[in-house]
Amino acid sequence: MSDDLARDVIRRHDRMRGDRSLMEPLWQEIAELVKPMRADFTVTRTPGQRRGLRVFDGTPGYAAENLAAGLWGMVTNSANEWFSLKHPDEALNRQGEVKQWTDATGAAMREAFSAGGQRFYAAALELYADLVAFGTGIFYVDEGRQPGRLFFSNRPLRECCIAQDDEERVDTVYRRFEWTAHQAYSRWGEGAGKSVLKALRDDQPDACFWFLHAVEPNERVDPRRRDARGKAFRSVHVAESDMEVLQAGGYDEFPYMVPRWSTSTGGLYGDSPAMLALPDIKTLQAQEKTTLVAAQKAADPPLLAPDENALRSVRVTPGGITYGAVDANGRPLVVPLQSGGNFSLTLEMAEQKRQAIRVAFYATLLNMQAVPNETATAVLARQEEQLRLMGPHLGRLQAEFHDPLISRVFGLMWRGQAFGQPPDVLRQAPQIAVEYVSPLAKAQKSSEAASIMRTMEAVGPLMQVDPSIIGNFDLDEVARGIADGFAMPARMLRDPEAVKRQREAQQQQAEQAAQMQALAASAQPMAQASRGVRDLAEASRVAEGMGV
């Protein structure tokens, strides 16, 4: 049974690899021109072998790195809270115990992402680099060896084959990888396979072997069971050389995130900015190679001579003197060959290609040039216009990477009892929603705040004519809409109920002050009359004393 399963896994991997082979030449060409250190799709290179021999201009590589770093900084920046948790029901989010639990849970998850020397953020940068170059990234999340730690890894695309379900969601990953005997034994011990154990007995711990890891939906899942048969996804590790199953298990959630930059209709693997810019990249490299040859000829041109003997005595060293290199009339017998090439035209054409490559990699979005005397409203409008270009890709990145990533990490930490006990109201309605508050998400949401501000600016002159127009707006919602659009931290906003209570208290204090003022005003005439009576009585006593 184990041997049959191993053969089934190997056969399906061979079929999936055959389907993927159509993409490999394209990936190889992009890697050689943009990511030379990852050019291992169709060519096997030894460690330390020279790469990048086809690269004569580094602009494509710089642009790809710039976009990958920009995505990292704007989407999953370790210095920012790039996501938060809440309940889909806003009424529950206003309850203090619910908000306290979701805030504490989100903080624990962010701490897990930052643990282990920020391994997640380093792996995420590698993922973005694969995404912008090849259009497809493979990310893996599982429990770490240390209790309470998570393991994050960006899997090389050359190792992985994928398949998707009827809703075009990737639900299957087959990975073929090479490990040393030492690595395999560290993972599986005595169950690492006959070939690995033999290599270790022969004192060859660095001998390499190929393994397969298949993760796919468990078609016969039994939710009542706690073992591998009760898991939603099946996991099988196979030693390729031994045709033997080393480990069979399962996962509660799909452990792989497979984001794609974009896909063509019916396509499985993604398209990328590098694919879009590939014609310009190839043209630029050819132009730069020609320019270098032309520059070398201009700096050290070929020599023209009447015969071969004339060149034997030519001294081309600095300060060298060549005898017999002129004829009787003083004309040189050896002259440089002037090709008459137009360097300025070549440089202009190359710069045009560089600019086209930068546009393909969204350099204009990542490096917005400041405009002198530009208002804040104009900056927001220009930024909103630029971000529309990134919006579709950001939405796909959230759907195929961030959402399953948060779900996977939450599930692992929940089963590991890394969170506190949720309040009773969440036990009855256990749904949890994710809100992304990364710099790029904030920038996209700022368009709503900008529209509110533009509306209020436009209505301002009308309110000067008729102040009652302000009654058309709920100013509390306007203020909260602006704060939400600019992603103001929720802790700086008062709860609407608290604001209501504060206003009621202020109104009550104002009414009490008005009542006190009214009582004081009504008591003043009585006090004056009382003083008058006292004065009259005093005058009467004085008159009687004088015998009047």
pLDDT one-digit tens code per residue, 390-411: 777 888 899 999 999 999 999 9
Percent of the chain with pLDDT over 90: 42
What confidence tier does 161 reach under pLDDT thresholds 50, 70, 90? very high
DSSP 344: H
Choose between 425 and 486: higher pLDDT.
425
Alpha carbon 103 to chain centroid, angstroms: 22
Choose between 170 and 380: higher pLDDT.
170
Indicate the Cα dihedral angle 538, 544, 545, 548, nearest 10°: 120
Q: Tell me what the mean pLDDT of segment 376-399 comes to.
A: 73
What confidence tier does 7 reach under pLDDT thresholds 50, 70, 90? very high
pLDDT at 476: 81
* Residue in 261, 235, 263 with CA at minimum distance from that of residue 247: 235
Given a cut of 60, whether residue 163 has pLDDT beyond it is: yes
Beta bridge partners of 85: 434
pLDDT at 273: 95
Choose between 375 and 539: higher pLDDT.
375
pLDDT one-digit tens code per residue, 266-311: 789 999 999 999 999 999 999 999 888 888 887 778 877 777 766 6
Choose between 492 and 271: higher pLDDT.
271
Percent of the chain with pLDDT over 70: 86
* Residue in 125, 408, 363, 148 with CA at minimum distance from that of residue 257: 408
Which residues make Cβ contacts (< 8 Å) with residue 444, sequence separation at least 6?
A: 387, 391, 394
Triad 65, 485, 258: Cα angle to 5°: 40
* Residue in 87, 139, 161 with CA at minimum distance from that of residue 408: 139
pLDDT at 544: 63
Given a cut of 60, whether residue 542 has pLDDT beyond it is: no
The answer to whether 364 touches 358, Cβ cutoff 8 Å, is yes
DSSP 227: S
pLDDT at 490: 62
Looking at beta carbons, which pairs linking 40-45 to residues 24 or more positions away fall under 8 Å? 40/156, 40/158, 41/157, 41/158
pLDDT at 388: 67
Instruction: Report the C-alpha gap between 254 and 217 in whole angstroms.
Output: 8
Choose between 111 and 392: higher pLDDT.
111
pLDDT one-digit tens code per residue, 115-137: 888 899 999 999 999 999 999 99
Which amino acid is it at 195? S
Burial class (CB in 10 A: 0-12, 13-18, 19+), 529: exposed
Given a cut of 80, whether residue 379 has pLDDT beyond it is: no
Indicate the Cα dihedral angle 434, 435, 438, 441, nearest 10°: 130
- Dihedrals φ, ψ of 332, to 5°? -70, 140
pLDDT one-digit tens code per residue, 165-199: 998 999 999 999 999 999 999 999 999 999 999 99
Any idea which of 66-80, 174-188, 235-249, 320-334 has the lowest mean pLDDT?
320-334
Given a cut of 60, whether residue 532 has pLDDT beyond it is: no
C-alpha pair distances (Å), 446 with each of 382, 434, 437, 526: 12, 18, 11, 62
Given a cut of 70, whether residue 414 has pLDDT beyond it is: yes
pLDDT at 15: 95
Given a cut of 60, whether residue 1 has pLDDT beyond it is: no
Instruction: Give the number of C-alpha atoms closer than 13 A to the C-alpha of residue 513, restricted to the C-beta side.
Output: 6
Choose between 199 and 512: higher pLDDT.
199
What is the Cα gyration radius of the chain?
A: 38
pLDDT at 147: 82
Instruction: Report the C-alpha gap between 508 and 498 in whole angstroms.
Output: 15
Instruction: Give the number of C-alpha atoms closer than 13 A to the C-alpha of residue 46, restricted to the C-beta side.
Output: 1
Burial class (CB in 10 A: 0-12, 13-18, 19+), 216: middle
**Chain-wide mean pLDDT for the chain?**
85
DSSP 433: E
Helix (H) or strand (E) holding 257: strand 256-257
DSSP string, 368-418: PPP-TT--HHHHHHHHHHHHHHHHHHHHHHIIIIIHHHHHHHHHHHHHTT-
Tokens 């368009």 appear where? Answer: 447
Which amino acid is it at 494? R
pLDDT at 87: 85
Q: Tell me what the mean pLDDT of segment 140-166 comes to.
A: 93
**Helix, strand, coil abundance in the chain, percent, nearest 5:** 55, 15, 30
pLDDT at 402: 94
Given a cut of 60, whether residue 98 has pLDDT beyond it is: yes
pLDDT at 445: 66
* Residue in 210, 208, 215, 213 with CA at minimum distance from that of residue 237: 213
pLDDT at 303: 79
Which amino acid is it at 87? H
What confidence tier does 12 reach under pLDDT thresholds 50, 70, 90? very high
DSSP 422: P
Terminal CA-CA length for the chain? 137
